């Protein structure tokens, strides 16, 4: 479940970064903040994609 939540959170952050990239309604968001959102969202999706989860212990 945490993998799914992380993937969804990453997508939400990337959508927020995409919307923040445009100057809509006269509101300007600093470039460093937008770039951190892009990087953070990409890292979240990458970690969720590469996560293998817990490995089960074998009893042998």
Three-state SS sequence of the chain: CHHHHHHHHHHHHHHHHHHHHCCCCCCCCCHHHHHHHHHHHHHHHHHHHHCCCCCCCCCC
What are the pLDDT digits (tens) for 5-42?
999 999 999 999 998 888 777 778 888 999 999 999 99
Do 14 and 35 touch, CB atoms closer than 8 A? no
Structure tokens belonging to residue 37: 């959102």
> What is the mean predicted confidence (pLDDT) over 38-52?
90
Considering the entire predicted model, what is its pTM?
Answer: 0.75
Q: What is the pLDDT of residue 25?
A: 77
Do 34 and 17 touch, CB atoms closer than 8 A? yes
């Amino acid at each position: 479940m945490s993998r799914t939540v992380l993937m969804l959170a990453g997508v939400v952050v990337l959508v927020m970064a995409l919307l923040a990239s445009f100057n809509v309604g006269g509101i300007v968001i600093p470039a460093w903040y937008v770039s951190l959102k892009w990087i953070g969202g990409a890292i979240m999706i990458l970690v969720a994609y590469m996560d293998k989860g817990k490995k089960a212990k074998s009893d042998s």
